[in-house]
Amino acid sequence: MADNKRPTPIPLATVGGFLGSGKTTLINHLLNQANGRRYVVFVNDFGAINIDLQLVETIEDDRISFSNGCVCCTLNDEFVGSVAEMSKRQDRPDAILIEASGVADPRALEASLSALEASNHVRLETALYIVDAGCFGQRDYAEVEMLIDHAATSDLVLLNKSDLVSEQALDGLLQEFSVAAPYAATLATVQSCVSPALLFGNSDRPTRPEAKAGPHRHPDYHHWHYSGRDPMTRDALVELTKILQQHFFRIKGIVQSAADPTIWLSLQVVGTRAVIGQLPQGFTGKDAVEIVGIGIGPKMRRVELDRSMAAFEETLKPTPALPAMFTGKT
Amino acid sequence: MSGTLFYGGTIVTQDPKYPAPEAVLISCGKIVAVGDLADIQPRADKATVQHDLAGQTLLPGFIDAHSHPIWAAKTRGAPVVDVRANIVPTYAALIGKIKRRVAVAAPGEHLLFFGLDAQLHPDMEAPTRAFLDELAPDHPLGIQTSNCHALFLNSAGFKACGIDETTPTPTGSIIERDENGVPTGKIAEAVTWTALESFYEAWGARRLAEEVEQQILAFVANGITTVTEHLYMPFYKASYMAALNQKLPLPRVACYQQATTPDMRVEKLTDADDRLWMAGVKIHADGSPFIGNIWLTEPYLSNEITLERMDLKPGHTGGPNYPQEYFERMVREYFSAGWQMTVHTQGDRTIDMVLDLIETLLEEMPRPDHRFRLEHCALMRRDQIRRAHALGVQCSFFINHITHWGAPIEDALFGPERAAHYMPAGSAVAEGMRISLHADTPMTDASALDLMQAAVTRRAADGRCLGEGERLDIETALKSVTIDAAYHIGMEDQLGSITPGKHADLVILGANPLETEGDRLGDIPISSTWLAGERVYGG
Ligand SMILES: [Zn+2]
């Protein structure tokens, strides 16, 4: 790669939700079962975090460091500065999670995040929102609306504590959220169990097998990889993206442009948000097309996907020129 | 009365006589001195507060040249339910929201939803009266479009507003009806705004006062110290007087009274402290590009959005709001009375009509400094800009159309050529005009920095740039929300720059906009806002 000096931005996700919805559980999972990854979590206050004291290395006023390399920080005025600093370090974090629900000024946080993204320090991967499915039915009108408005502007919604409601009620909730938050992916969870792959995309770093995973823990995502030798036009990539969005929550890819082979396009998709960009001049990839997809749920609709892909590849083939005798209308 | 001395930061005065002063002294609500700290410091007395800018940037307070504060207060905030597409993404989700609201409504409660959007709600269908009756058989219910120009009502809603088959359609308005004259659900233009009053009235004065206060705080939190009331109605006065009496930090308000007939009495508002005054008369020549009632020389595109969601015919070129003769009678009446005129114009054919009229009027009754204003100017052509400039006509651009609806403007409504010159602020400046920018609150949220960013980048929500050639440089964009906006409301001798003798309306920003990337202007923090010499926001 030509642009080796420029570090890849750190994947960042935000998590929101009412008190008791399961944000803390999610954070504890992440910190305690990092499996070799270094996570940094920003929270409003430490009070709610269940700290495994055996893991703690140092505690400062606004920062707890764990022996597994993870760090928990308070979300304060120094946030932008400390993220910028972390991203320059040798032992930079693999991913950052922000618990944003109690923030007094969400607009200020948004501005900070977009500043960090513009300066290439982080990449906003997922806005996650957790709903307590167990007590959704007891919420009053104002709470329901607030909750739904938040869910509708998120990328991924967890209907958490789904074991506390009947299957029928859960289906009803999934249906209700698919209408109210159509651009968010919705996932029923127990104990906020969601794979880091869904939150941050796949980190390049290999992970140890998740030894401590609990009994309910079958994988909640599936993986797909595609490579192709023929470059693609931007329009074709847009079409392909539309197909893949039917199957995957998260898609990443690099594609050589058919219009100008010196140009390489990048594809980033989270839910319904798709961004096609251009890699720095001078980049060359191994294959002309390299795409990975991460889908929600243990199984992929393989037959359907293969069929769509075959049809798509068909459209890429140049239409053979018709012999002259067939072109005139006689 | 003691004053305040500002120093220790960047001072952007917007007055070429004071290019880069070190200090500003204000006292008794006015700017007293601007210049070197050593010269000004001796003029401060013991009671003067020393305000160290600590590296921040001091500017004149922002001026929003076209807004509707009272209307914003009425339209926004509970019990109005916000269903704009950035919160409620689809029509299906919007209907779900209405159903949940109806389910908890008190008997007889008036229910109003704001933000239905044919361009941004991808599955939108125009709700019919019958459909809304099914949703809410017992409650007056209305859904207002995000462009504010149209309203969909159920039967109880029509009843509450007193509109039925016997009601004549007011000139300049639309009431859609069946073959028997019975309203079928949609009403548009001025009748919308009178109909909505019955909802606002039902919610009571206290709710309105609370929302007015919220709006006032929203303006000053964005550094805005002067607004316009661009659709003033005489009963608004009570709200404004109450806000002033309660010593709320009401920005200065230049009022433009709405005219829908030629025989309206224009209220004479004046205020010794320049807090509230009648600046002129506002008339709608056409409507909103998003519902199709603007007048064009070239038709709308034909596609699913225009034909189905907006319900237009192929080749639709719209029309003016009023019969031309009626419109001319109105303008002539108020122009000849000496008022500054401000006319809502979006389509280029409308602009032709208005410029023709202005030319005639100026021949009949020459007036050197009339500052006749055209508002929004979405599809104004380059030749029209030249002609307007020669006639002394001012243009105020609703630049947030680009950021909020850029993609549908290009793809669905007008195509790439017209989109590249939509809200042609750059052309207007190139032709030598002094322009202003506006957010038309409540249509979009008031923020002068967002306006500047929109004009400098012309970047739509999906990242595309609409017409690179129409972008402004930051310096011009800043003028259009300060000194040039002051010129548009006829107050350039009192407002819009940091000049001795002017009102001490100031804003302190966390960064100097002139040294900020165009696409980050909206992120600059507002540190504090000063109105008539008092700090009204921030620390
Ligand atoms: Zn307006």
Rounded Cα–Cα distance for residues B135 and B98 (Å): 8
Stated as kind and residue range, the H or E segment containing B45 is none
> Do A44 and A130 reside in the same domain of the chain?
yes
User: Which residues 95-114 on chain B approach chain A with CB closer than 8 angstroms?
Assistant: 96-97, 100-101, 103-104
Strands (E), B319-363: 340-345
Kindly report whether the peptide bond that precedes residue B79 is cis, defined as omega within 30 degrees of 0: yes
Q: Are residues A182 and B86, on separate chains, in Cβ contact within 8 Å? A: no
pLDDT at A85 over 80: yes
For B59-73, the pLDDT digits (tens) are 999 999 999 999 899
The reported pLDDT for the residue numbered B195 is 95
Residue B538 in domain: no
Q: How many domains does chain B have?
A: 3
Nearest to A182 among B93, B97, B104 (CB): B93
When pLDDT is averaged across residues A103-129 and rounded to a whole number, the result is 83
Name the nearest CA neighbour of B357 among B394, B320, B332: B332
Neighbour-count burial of A19, counting CB atoms closer than 10 A to its CB (0-12 exposed, 13-18 middle, 19+ buried):
exposed
Nearest to B96 among A111, A180, A275 (CB): A180
Residue of B nearest to A277 (CA): B463
pLDDT at B439 over 70: yes
Any idea which residue has 């006065």 for tokens?
B237
Residue A289 in domain: yes
Confidence label for A197 from pLDDT (cuts 50, 70 and 90): confident
Confidence label for B339 from pLDDT (cuts 50, 70 and 90): very high
Residue of B nearest to A178 (CA): B93
In sequence order, the 6+-apart residues with CB closer than 8 A to the CB of B494 are B274, B486, B502, B503
The reported pLDDT for the residue numbered A160 is 94
Q: What is the pTM of this model?
A: 0.81
Q: Count CB neighbours of A153 within 10 A.
A: 16
A308 CA distance to ligand 1 middle (Å): 48
Name the nearest CA neighbour of B449 among B507, B488, B534: B507
CATH code of the domain covering residue A104: 3.40.50.300
pLDDT at A1 over 90: no
Any idea which residue has 């920095």 for tokens?
B449
For A165-196, the pLDDT digits (tens) are 999 999 999 999 999 999 999 999 998 988 88
Name the nearest CA neighbour of A269 among A287, A290, A294, A289: A294
**Cβ pair B373, B340 in contact under 8 A:** yes
Name the nearest CA neighbour of B293 among B397, B437, B186, B386: B186
- Type of residue at A273: R
> Do B218 and B340 reside in the same domain of the chain?
yes
Residue B273 in domain: yes
Q: Which residues of B touch A176 (CB under 8 A)?
A: 96
The reported pLDDT for the residue numbered B147 is 87
> Do B21 and B133 reside in the same domain of the chain?
no
pLDDT at A58 over 90: no
pLDDT at B472 over 80: yes
> Do B231 and B355 reside in the same domain of the chain?
yes
Confidence label for A215 from pLDDT (cuts 50, 70 and 90): very low
Mutate to test the interface with A, among B88, B102, B109 (most CBs of A within 10 A): B88
The reported pLDDT for the residue numbered A206 is 41
pLDDT at A67 over 90: no
Residue B353 in domain: yes
Residue B72 in domain: no
Nearest to A111 among B100, B103, B523 (CB): B523
> Do A153 and A246 reside in the same domain of the chain?
no
The reported pLDDT for the residue numbered A4 is 44
Residue A328 in domain: no
State the smallest CA–CA distance between residue A140 and chain B in angstroms: 9
Residue B70 in domain: no
CATH code of the domain covering residue A311: 3.30.1220.10
When pLDDT is averaged across residues B301-316 and rounded to a whole number, the result is 92
> Do B190 and B215 reside in the same domain of the chain?
no
Indicate the SS3 state at residue B83: coil
> Do B184 and B215 reside in the same domain of the chain?
no
Q: Which residues of A touch B83 (CB under 8 A)?
A: none
For A87-97, the pLDDT digits (tens) are 888 889 999 99
Nearest to A179 among B81, B92, B523 (CB): B92
pLDDT at B144 over 60: yes
> Do B259 and B366 reside in the same domain of the chain?
yes
CATH code of the domain covering residue B45: 2.30.40.10
Phi, psi dihedrals of residue B41, rounded to the nearest 5°: -50, -45
Confidence label for A6 from pLDDT (cuts 50, 70 and 90): low
CATH code of the domain covering residue B197: 3.10.310.70
When pLDDT is averaged across residues B398-421 and rounded to a whole number, the result is 96
Q: Are residues A149 and B87, on separate chains, in Cβ contact within 8 Å? A: yes
Rounded Cα–Cα distance for residues B537 and B539 (Å): 7
State the smallest CA–CA distance between residue B92 and chain A in angstroms: 6
> Do A179 and A242 reside in the same domain of the chain?
no
The reported pLDDT for the residue numbered A329 is 37
In sequence order, the 6+-apart residues with CB closer than 8 A to the CB of A191 are A22, A25, A29, A160, A161, A214, A216
In sequence order, the 6+-apart residues with CB closer than 8 A to the CB of B296 are B317, B318, B347, B348, B349, B379
- Two structure tokens written together for B121: 């709600």
State the smallest CA–CA distance between residue A231 and chain B in angstroms: 24
When pLDDT is averaged across residues B17-24 and rounded to a whole number, the result is 96
> Do A232 and A135 reside in the same domain of the chain?
no
Confidence label for A327 from pLDDT (cuts 50, 70 and 90): very low
Confidence label for A207 from pLDDT (cuts 50, 70 and 90): very low
Q: Are residues A182 and B92, on separate chains, in Cβ contact within 8 Å? A: yes
**End residue of a domain, out of A151, A177, A206:** A206
Q: Are residues B463 and A275, on separate chains, in Cβ contact within 8 Å? A: yes
Domain limits for position B18: 4-55
Nearest to A152 among B87, B100, B523 (CB): B87
> Do A191 and A237 reside in the same domain of the chain?
no
Indicate the SS3 state at residue B451: helix
Residue B491 in domain: yes
How do strand A185-188 and strand B150-153 relate by DSSP bridges?
unpaired
The reported pLDDT for the residue numbered B26 is 97
CATH code of the domain covering residue B240: 3.20.20.140
- Two structure tokens written together for A200: 């941050």
> Do A43 and A180 reside in the same domain of the chain?
yes
In sequence order, the 6+-apart residues with CB closer than 8 A to the CB of B180 are B165
Confidence label for A202 from pLDDT (cuts 50, 70 and 90): low
**Taken in order A193, A196, A197, A199, is the CA torsion positive or negative?**
positive
Q: Which of these ranges, A59-73, A211-225, B407-421, has the smallest mean pLDDT?
A: A211-225
The reported pLDDT for the residue numbered B260 is 92
State the smallest CA–CA distance between residue B13 and chain A in angstroms: 27
**Cβ pair B463, B406 in contact under 8 A:** no
> Do B188 and B279 reside in the same domain of the chain?
no
> Do A150 and A247 reside in the same domain of the chain?
no
> Do A135 and A240 reside in the same domain of the chain?
no
Please give the DSSP secondary-structure letter assigned to residue B104: T
B68 CA distance to ligand 1 middle (Å): 7
> Do A177 and A200 reside in the same domain of the chain?
yes
Residue B121 in domain: yes
For B257-286, the pLDDT digits (tens) are 999 999 999 998 988 889 999 999 999 999
Q: Provide DSSP, B243-289.
A: HHHTT--PPEEEEEEE-SSTTPPPP----TTSSEEEEEEEEESS--T
Name the nearest CA neighbour of A14 among A105, A113, A111, A162: A113
In sequence order, the 6+-apart residues with CB closer than 8 A to the CB of B225 are B61, B62, B63, B251, B252, B495, B505, B506, B507, B529, B530, B531
**Cβ pair B380, B424 in contact under 8 A:** yes
Residue A152 in domain: yes
Any idea which residue has 């006319």 for tokens?
B343
Q: Are residues A179 and B96, on separate chains, in Cβ contact within 8 Å? A: yes
Of all residues in chain A, the percent with pLDDT exceeding 70 is 86
> Do A199 and A230 reside in the same domain of the chain?
no
The reported pLDDT for the residue numbered A277 is 87
Domain limits for position A253: 221-316
Rounded Cα–Cα distance for residues B143 and B138 (Å): 16
> Do A199 and A234 reside in the same domain of the chain?
no
> Do B35 and B110 reside in the same domain of the chain?
no
Mutate to test the interface with B, among A77, A119, A144, A148 (most CBs of B within 10 A): A148
Name the nearest CA neighbour of B112 among B68, B69, B160: B160
Residue A92 in domain: yes
> Do A304 and A198 reside in the same domain of the chain?
no
> Do B307 and B447 reside in the same domain of the chain?
yes
Residue of B nearest to A142 (CA): B101
Residue A27 in domain: yes
For A245-293, the pLDDT digits (tens) are 999 998 999 999 998 989 999 998 988 888 888 888 888 888 999 999 9
Residues from A in contact with B at Cβ < 8 Å: 108, 111, 114-115, 118, 141, 144-145, 148-149, 152-153, 176, 179-183, 275
Rounded Cα–Cα distance for residues A253 and B266 (Å): 63
When pLDDT is averaged across residues A110-126 and rounded to a whole number, the result is 86
Confidence label for A77 from pLDDT (cuts 50, 70 and 90): confident
Confidence label for A48 from pLDDT (cuts 50, 70 and 90): low
Residue B71 in domain: no
pLDDT at B152 over 70: yes
> Do B218 and B192 reside in the same domain of the chain?
no
ipTM above 0.90, yes or no: no
For B475-495, the pLDDT digits (tens) are 999 999 999 999 999 999 999
**Cβ pair A66, A57 in contact under 8 A:** yes
Residue A116 in domain: yes
Mutate to test the interface with A, among B464, B523, B527 (most CBs of A within 10 A): B523
> Do B239 and B369 reside in the same domain of the chain?
yes
> Do B174 and B213 reside in the same domain of the chain?
no
Helix axes B190-203, B205-221, angle to 10 degrees: 110
Nearest to B100 among A141, A181, A275 (CB): A141
Residue A278 in domain: yes
